[in-house]
Amino acid sequence: MKNTDPLENPDLDRASLFVLMIPVIGFFPALWTLYRRQGSPERKAISRLAIALAFTWLLGHILLEAGAISTESPTLPMLLMSSILTTSYFIVALGLMVRLWKRQPLWLPGISRVAEQVLGKHY
């Protein structure tokens, strides 16, 4: 007789992967997943991707906002670039959630490779 754990539900696990891809908020469960060093290889890869996306957005946002504050020229172009960066981050996260829903692999050129190289060594 097959002895299965009633708490191991593949649909529930897939739903928890959606939480990792929520912009800004998903960073914290992704970081917790890597900190505990538990979970499936797919969950760890998605966590690394979510963290890399969040750090990329945050770094870009901070640099653009700091540039807008410190520059003597009009700040509107910097603030516009910051809003475009934030919108792009949300659209990319939504696109990754759609790919997850379709059960397609989550991969972004450049960012996935950096996430595996930088965060893959430590976690």
Whether 2 maps to a domain, the answer reads: no
Provide the domain limits for residue 37.
10-120
Per-residue pLDDT for the chain (123 aa), expressed as one digit of tens each? Answer: 454 555 566 666 778 888 888 999 999 999 998 888 888 888 888 888 899 999 999 999 999 888 888 877 778 888 899 999 999 999 999 999 998 888 888 877 877 777 777 776 555
Whether 5 maps to a domain, the answer reads: no
Whether 85 maps to a domain, the answer reads: yes
Residues whose CB is less than 8 angstroms from the CB of residue 67 and which lie 6 or more positions away in sequence, other chains included: 78
Q: How many structural domains comprise the chain?
A: 1
Whether 66 maps to a domain, the answer reads: yes
The amino acid sitting at 26 is: G
Nearest to 65 by CA among 92, 86, 50, 51: 86
Whole-Å CA distances, 14 to 36, 45, 46: 19, 14, 11
- Tell me the whole-structure pTM to 2 decimals: 0.78
Q: Give me the pLDDT at residue 113, please.
A: 73
Distance of CA 64 to the CA centre of its chain: 20
